[in-house]
Structure 1
Amino acid sequence: MRPLRYPFAQAALRFAITAGLAVGVLALLAPIAHAQSAPMVWQMATEYPATSMPGEGLTTFAQEVAARTQGAIVPKPTFDASAGVKSAQMPAAIREGKLQAGDAFGGALGEVDPIFLLSSLPFVATSVDKAHRLADLARADYARAFEKQGQHLLYITPWPPTGLWSRKAVDTPDDLRTLSVRAYDETSAEVMRAAGAKAQNLAFADTMPDLKDGSVNAVLSSGDGGAGRKLWEYLPYFTAIGYAMPLSFTSMNTATWQALTAAQRDAVTSAAKATENKQWARLNTRVAENTARMRGNGVTIQDTPTPSVQQALRDAGLSAVGVWQSRVGERGAQLLKLYLGASQKTEKNAL
């Protein structure tokens, strides 16, 4: 009987050794497999609420990237400046790696490069089609400006038309002179000052305390931004002055971008394009939604400003455009001229 047991014992021993080696190899490979499957997490931020256009853009982009990379990249958006970074500080925070990506309002980036003030020039692009055309025309210039800051432009977010929130109705130029206005960039502050108001360029996060103590009694903002901050609690009047349709920009750290594989860059680019398309599409219903929300919260909306108020603001805006042209240089001036020429041609063809 012993000769029969011996081969069996040898086979059993070989099996045990082989199985033991396999288990050992698997144990050694497990941490490697785990490391390979761990997602790449991107910290993203905006100073605006999650329900605002920039907030919804970050949420959409995060979802698109996660889906298109099958979870290999997971952006984590934060809102309301909870990351401690406002729009003006966003380029530095991304460049220094404190954030991998983020959204910044173009008007706050004027000191970085005056090209970012193009979209918020007074009474230049006052419809969705015009704002979209201007954004497409200047996209390469925006991208180059971000490259100089060590960043890669991902997508653009449009805002609904800028209006004037106020504590009292604004029916005459004299009413403009009673306002202490929060403006969203230096150009709009200059325009409001030229119209007779007191004005200062403030981030939204810095505006709320001034509204509460009464030192600010008007805010230049869209219905979108105002609704996100519940401005009706302080400012129950809104005049649709059609000042501008400014842009926000979402960019990411260039080193982070370059470290991606070609397939990952393609996925992120596709996610950014899909996000931007959705952002523009949202504008089709956004104004109506904001108007309904505002009226539901007791806001008195003046859909068309009085001719005297509109003229006073347009007159005040003329010099601001000239100041911007002197700051931005030849290329920016050419962009504006090209856009205005194309717009006039389009309007003539529509007649």
Structure 2
Amino acid sequence: MKLFNALVGAFSLSFTVTAAIAEPIVWDMPNEYPATSIQGETDAFFSARLEELSGGEMSIVHHYGGAIGFRSRDQLDAVGDGAVPLANTFIAPLGGIDPLFLLMSLPFLTSDSAEARALFEIAEPHFNTLLESHNQRLLYSSPWAPSGLWSRKEITGLEALKLLKMRSYDANSTKVFRAAGAAPVQLSWADIVPQLSAGGIDGVLTSIEAGLSASFNEYTPVFAALNYDSTINIATINLDVWNGLSEEQKAILEQAANETEDHAWANVDVAVSLAYEEARAAGMTVIAEPDPAYRAALVDRAAPVIAEWLEKSGETGQSILSSFSTAMGREISN
């Protein structure tokens, strides 16, 4: 699809570069999430390192909170078509394009950030191939804290979850919570607060950190940690833009991206701890450890989702989960 070609002239994008760094390069970078989120902080770290490493000759103008009209589901095409040179994109909403984008949101597959990073590193070559087919290149991955459930009242079991109108963020989470008796609806980040304020939903599946960054506690003062998944954003760059860079520019960009990825993965656990402290200080109810029977019931309802994903992803998915199972020394239920 070439839906975004007409938008290229709408932004002041510096796509033309010289053989060496001579004239400043300024790139626009959209991110559906706010500057205060862990993804916003990661992008800020990236741009600061890029500007420092390039001596101010390469810089980024950030567009947080979907400010230029692109949501995560739009950004794969936006970068591939050249409407923007790069973007930081939540990958779960892209699952309809390719099942690989749903890998990191497979329910209860990883138990902590170390396992999540190991899973992504196993899958990274497949992501690189997929992204190249969409005319872009991976710069860095950036994790979210594990997802839990924000709600207006405490939910500690399936009975309380029954018919809960809640936000899900991809096909995986929609299926799992529907099977558990809830009434999930898949919403983009920008649609959550309007739905909460209007009473359209009473719960949100997301991390403690992400919800605080958008003040969900004003509507849903209870957070239950489920360690549902450890999904990610990916920052990508248009392949034509990349190919137009000098070798020096590419090296600088890669160094800034690699440092950003290490920073993001090292920072996620710290962000969770700080978010718990902030939530409790704000008077929220935080259920840090869900009832084992409740979580086991959710895990049971998640197994068919993993099996379905394996069927859709074929040999690629089987290879990834087999390698991950070996690396973790445990069986992956499906």
Please, what TM-score do these two structures have when normalized by structure 1? 0.86
Find out whether 1:167 has 2:152 as its counterpart: yes
Tell me, yes or no, if structure 1 residue 249 matches structure 2 residue 202.
Answer: no
Aligned to 1:83: 68
Give the corresponding residue for 1:318. 303
Letter in 2 for 1:296: A
Match of 2:288, as an amino acid? Answer: D
Amino acid at match of 2:131: F
Equivalent positions of 1:113-128 (< 5 A) are: 113-128=98-113
- Is residue 264 of structure 2 the alignment partner of residue 279 of structure 1? yes
> Considering only CA atoms, is the larger Rg found in Structure 1 or Structure 2?
1
Q: CA deviation at 1:341?
A: 2.5
Shift of 1:143: 1.2
**Alignment match of 1:228 (pick from 213, 237, 243):** 213
Give the 3-state SS of the residue equivalent to 1:77 in structure 2.
strand
Distance 2:139 2:298 in 1: 34
CA-CA distance at 1:99 after TM superposition: 0.9
SS of 1:329's equivalent in the other structure is helix
TM-score, normalised relative to structure 2: 0.90
* Equivalent residue number for residue 102 of structure 1: 87
The number of residue pairs the alignment matches comes to 311
> What letter corresponds to residue 190 of structure 2 in structure 1?
A
Residue 334 of structure 1 pairs with residue 314 of structure 2: no
2-side partners of 1:181 and 1:247: how far apart? 21
Map Cα deviations across residues 276-301 of structure 1 (whole Å, 9 max, x no partner): 01101112311111101111222101
Distance 1:327 1:78 in 2: 34
Q: Is the 8 A contact 2:145 2:269 kept in 1?
A: no
Q: Does 1:53 align with 2:38?
A: yes
Show the counterpart of 1:66. Answer: 51
Alignment match of 2:288 (pick from 300, 303, 306):
303
More helix by share: 1
Alpha-carbon contact 1:53-1:159 (below 8 Å) kept: yes
1:345 to partner: Cα distance:
5.7
Distance 1:123 1:345, change over 3 A: closer
Paired residues of 1:173 and 1:308 also in contact (CA < 8 A) = no
- Name the residue aligned to 1:157: 142
CA RMSD in angstroms comes to 1.4
Query: What CA deviation, in whole Å up to 9, does each residue of 1:161-194 have, x standing for no partner?
Result: 1111111111221111131110111101110001
* Partner Cα distance (1:285, 1:171) in 2: 26
Partner Cα separation in structure 2 for residue 151 and residue 299 of structure 1: 42
Contact 2:38 2:271 in 1 (8 A): no
Q: Distance in 1 between matches of 2:123 and 2:151?
A: 33
Structure-2 residue corresponding to 1:219? 204
Distance 1:298 1:145 in 2: 44
Q: Contact 2:142 / 2:265 at 8 angstroms: preserved in 1?
A: yes
Question: Does the Cα contact within 8 Å between 1:114 and 1:324 map onto a contact in 2?
Answer: yes
1:232·1:298 contact (CA, 8 Å) conserved in 2? no
Which amino acid counterpart does residue 33 of structure 2 have in structure 1?
Answer: Y
Identity among equivalent pairs (%): 32
Confirm or deny: 8 A CA contact 2:31 2:88 kept in the other structure. Answer: yes
| Cα distance in structure 1, aligned partners of 2:217 and 2:283 | 7
Change (3 A) 1:204 1:325: same
**Structure 1: how far apart are the matches of 2:230 and 2:294?**
19
Amino acid at match of 2:278: R
- Partner secondary structure for residue 329 of structure 2: helix
Pairing 1:173-184 to 2, within 5 Å after superposition:
173-184=158-169
Q: C-alpha separation between the residues in 2 aligned to 1:111 and 1:239?
A: 28
Give the aligned partner of residue 115 of structure 2. Answer: 130
Which whole-Å CA distance do the structure 1 matches of 2:183 and 2:109 have between them? 23
The residue type equivalent to 1:327 in the other structure is: K
Aligned pair in 2 of structure 1 residues 345, 219: CA closer, same or farther (>3 Å)?
closer
Amino acid aligned to 1:46: N
Deviation at 1:330, TM superposition (A): 1.0
The corresponding residue for 1:24 is none
